[in-house]
Amino acid sequence: MNILVFSDTHLYLPFDGKKFDFLKKIISDADQVIINGDFFDEYMISFDDFINSPWNKLFPLLKSKKTVYIFGNHDQEKFSDQRLNFFSDVQTSIYQLSTINYQLIFTHGQQFRKTGDLFIPEIFKPFVSSVIRIVHFLRQTMVNIFGRNFLKARFAYRNIATKEKAIKTIKDNEFIIVGHNHWAEVDEKNHFACCGAILYGFAQYLTINSVSEKINLHEEWYK
């Protein structure tokens, strides 16, 4: 079985047709899908608007892949409702998958690297939305200029502290896979992986072969 694991797509409006086509392709190629948090971005789009947006054309495909949906910090459980069933079979904060040698543990990772948005009162959300839009614009500009190097310099360091905390929580036969940090990594020695992000025209994601237990890191441009 080929399992696709991705996170941090931060879907919102305006609709991005190139990202949609890319997601449709990688989801179609998988036998099962695990969305490891921040699928949509509540600070940029309400859950109701997301459900009714053009992104919903992905929902039947995701549903056909028995998708597991893991809550992130930008798509917390309190932001959504039972309509998550439109595109996922399981909704949870932590998902475990047993293979021959490992217990794979999937979680978005905000418990290891806490961010300010976890503590923002509802009244400040419109202000936060404006700030996040500006941040996305600036990051996109930097990616257009410096490409992959900007993303690595900006995000790769986040895995260091996350990994240090995460591996303290797992047993010898466990392997933890997070999102949240926006930079992909597979560290087999320390039983840690991050599935990166699909943002700014650059995609990082993981595929897992459930037979060989091989975790493969993929990255490519989709713009």
- Residues 141-174 have pLDDT tens digits of 999 999 999 999 999 999 999 999 999 999 989 9
What was the pLDDT predicted at 24?
98
Distance CA 36, CA 108 (A): 5
Tell me the torsion sign for CA atoms 94, 204, 79, 88: negative
Distance CA 159, CA 149 (A): 16
Does residue 210 have a pLDDT over 90? no
| Residue 186 and residue 160 in contact, taking contact as beta carbons nearer than 8 Å | no
| Residue 162 and residue 178 in contact, taking contact as beta carbons nearer than 8 Å | yes
| Residue 27 and residue 203 in contact, taking contact as beta carbons nearer than 8 Å | no
What was the pLDDT predicted at 116?
79
What was the pLDDT predicted at 223?
84
Does residue 126 have a pLDDT over 90? no
| Residue 179 and residue 93 in contact, taking contact as beta carbons nearer than 8 Å | no
What was the pLDDT predicted at 121?
80
DSSP codes joined into one string, 189-214: TTTEEEE--EETTEEEEEEEETTT--
Polymer length in residues for the chain: 223
pTM score: 0.95
Q: How many CB atoms lie within 10 A of CB 62?
A: 21
3-state secondary structure at position 217: strand
Distance CA 157, CA 155 (A): 6
Mean pLDDT, residues 183-194 taken together: 97
- Taking every pair of C-alpha atoms in the chain, what is the biggest distance, in angstroms? 49
Does residue 108 have a pLDDT over 90? yes
Distance CA 193, CA 217 (A): 9
> What phi and psi values does residue 57 have, to the nearest 5 degrees?
-70, -15
Exposed/middle/buried for residue 33 (C-beta within 10 Å: 0-12, 13-18, 19+): buried
Mean pLDDT of the residues in the chain: 95
Cα 91 to the center of its chain, rounded Å: 14
- Angle at which helices 125-146 and 148-155 cross, to 10°: 130
Per-residue pLDDT tens digits for 23-62: 999 999 999 999 999 999 999 999 999 999 999 999 999 9
Name the band, by pLDDT with cuts 50, 70 and 90, for residue 120: confident
Q: Which of 23, 110, 36, 31 is nearest to 66 (CA)?
A: 31
